[in-house]
Amino acid sequence: MSLRVVCFDLGHVLVRIRNDWGEAFASVGAAQHHLDNVPFDAFPEFLRFQDGGIGEEDYLDALAMFAGTALDQAKRAHNAIVVGEHEGIDELLGRLRLNSLRLGCLSNTNVIHWRMMTDPNLFPTVARLDIQAASHEIGSCKPSVPAFEAFRIRAGVQPEEILFFDDSDVNVRAAVKLGWKARWVDSSKAPQPQLRRALARLGLI
pLDDT (tens digit, 9 = 90+) per residue, 136-153? 999 999 999 999 999 999
Q: Give the pLDDT band (50/70/90) at residue 102.
A: very high
Helix, strand, coil shares of the chain, percent, nearest 5, are 50, 15, 35
Q: Which of 38, 41, 29 is nearest to 69 (CA)?
A: 29
**Statement: residue 5 has pLDDT above 80:** yes
Distance CA 92, CA 104 (A): 14
Q: What is the percent of the chain with per-residue pLDDT over 90, rounded to a whole number?
A: 98
User: Tell me, what DSSP letter sits at residue 82?
Assistant: E
Strand order of the β-sheet with 131-134 is 131-134, 102-107, 5-8, 162-166, 181-184
The count of C-alpha atoms lying within 13 angstroms of the C-alpha of 52, restricted to the half-sphere facing its C-beta, is 12
| The predicted structure's pLDDT at residue 1 | 63
* The 3-state secondary structure of 124-170, one letter per residue: HHHHCCCEEEEHHHHCCCCCCHHHHHHHHHHHCCCHHHEEEEECCHH
Distance CA 160, CA 77 (A): 39
Distance CA 69, CA 187 (A): 29
How does pLDDT run across 32-82, given as a tens digit for each residue? Answer: 999 999 999 999 999 999 999 999 999 999 999 999 999 999 999 999 999
| CA 16 from centroid of its chain's CA atoms | 9
Mean pLDDT of 89-110: 95
Q: Give the pLDDT band (50/70/90) at residue 90.
A: very high
